[in-house]
């Protein structure tokens, strides 16, 4: 019973996250919504694993958490540097100038 | 089970809402973000269908790699800011074709055997042999692994070759370009 209500609560939260992703005025709202949606997916899979009694699903939930993390890191890097191939530390001035033009 | 059906309904509704939003939205980056959500939802659906490996692939490829690939593409080609939605008059011929095709597909579903029934062709053809004899024939505890790595080993070998070739191609494309840039920098 408690698992069912937990799953329902997660589904409602997912709905709210999607609403924010659709409405969100700035792109950062949407990124946050996607990140949160990923987290809720992890939780939902964990709850489904508990309901179905299949502990091996938890591994998949963990992998989802990692994938979500990597994707968000890539998105944030794109926003910070304007490209994904950027190393980050040695910010060459001509490169950043190029990217700002690109934006 | 009613509860699983409830989750199914929720997730399918999410899919419909997100796809409509992706079509309607004018900002490319937002569309990429929504693609990520779409992949996560479909991966959850696959999980509910007990297809853990498919769900795993969907999450890794759909939410992980494609998001990054699309962002990389955007960073190369640049992105325009939101273009206003151009009002076109609705053309009816494509709409009718799509509706007829969809109706035909739904009509085709009627003939399908009920979902998950024990006497479905999928359950009666080779599945019993996999289930009852794979342990004695192959001695691998995981059924899916036994099927993929042994019964369909040749097929899997072909897939691995395809993926390997694709990996080499991608490495040649990306790696070659980066080396060139380094040379010009020096």
Q: Which residues does chain A have within 8 Å of residue B24's beta carbon, measured at their own beta carbons? A: none
- Cβ contact, residue pair B74, A78, below 8 Å: yes
Residue B58, pLDDT score? 85
Give pTM, 2 decimals. 0.70
Q: Determine whether the interchain pair B14/A44 forms a contact, defined as Cβ–Cβ distance below 8 Å.
A: no
| Percent of chain B scoring above 90 in pLDDT | 16
Residue contacts between A and B (CB atoms, under 8 Å): 101
Radius of gyration over alpha carbons of chain A, in Å? Answer: 18
Contact flag B43-A27 (C-beta cutoff 8 Å):
no
Average pLDDT, integer, range B52-69 = 82
Domain boundaries, chain B: 1-81, 119-174
How many Å apart are CA B14 and CA B44, to the nearest integer? 11
DSSP state string for B16-39: HHHHHHHHH---HHHHHHHHHHHH
Structural domain boundaries in chain A: 1-81
pLDDT digits (tens, 9 = 90+) for A3-28: 888 888 998 998 898 888 888 788 88
Percentage with pLDDT > 90 across chain A: 0
For residue A62, what is the nearest residue in chain B, using CA coordinates? B56
Note the pLDDT of residue A99: 42
Of A98 and B135, the structure prediction assigns the larger pLDDT to B135
User: pLDDT, tens digit, for every residue of A88-100?
Assistant: 555 444 444 444 4
Each residue of B146-155: pLDDT tens digit? 888 888 889 9
Complex-level ipTM: 0.73
């Amino acid at each position: 019973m408690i698992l069912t209500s937990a799953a329902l609560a997660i589904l409602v939260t997912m709905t709210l996250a999607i609403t924010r992703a659709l409405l969100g005025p700035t792109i950062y709202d949407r990124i946050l919504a996607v990140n949160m949606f990923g987290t809720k997916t992890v939780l939902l899979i964990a709850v489904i694993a508990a309901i179905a009694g299949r502990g091996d699903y938890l591994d998949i939930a963990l992998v989802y958490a990692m994938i979500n993390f990597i994707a968000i890191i890539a998105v944030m890097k794109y926003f910070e540097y304007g490209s994904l191939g950027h190393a980050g530390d040695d910010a060459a001035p001509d490169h950043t100038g190029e990217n700002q033009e690109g934006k | 089970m009613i509860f699983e059906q409830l989750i199914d309904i929720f997730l399918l509704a999410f899919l419909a809402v997100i796809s409509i939003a992706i079509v309607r939205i004018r900002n490319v980056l937002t569309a990429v973000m929504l693609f990520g959500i779409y992949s996560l939802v479909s991966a959850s659906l696959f999980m509910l269908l007990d297809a853990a490996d498919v769900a795993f692939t969907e999450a890794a490829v759909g939410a992980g790699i494609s998001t990054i690939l699309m962002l990389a593409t955007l960073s190369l080609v640049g992105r325009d800011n939101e273009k206003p939605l151009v009002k076109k008059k609705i053309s009816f011929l494509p709409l009718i074709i799509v509706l007829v095709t969809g109706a035909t597909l739904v009509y085709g579903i009627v003939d399908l055997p009920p979902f998950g029934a024990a006497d479905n062709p999928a359950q009666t053809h080779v599945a019993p042999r996999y289930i009852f004899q794979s342990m004695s024939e192959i001695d691998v505890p995981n059924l899916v692994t036994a099927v993929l790595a042994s019964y369909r080993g040749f097929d899997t070998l072909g897939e691995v070759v395809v993926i390997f070739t694709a990996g080499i191609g991608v490495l040649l494309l990306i790696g070659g370009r980066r080396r060139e840039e380094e040379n010009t920098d020096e």
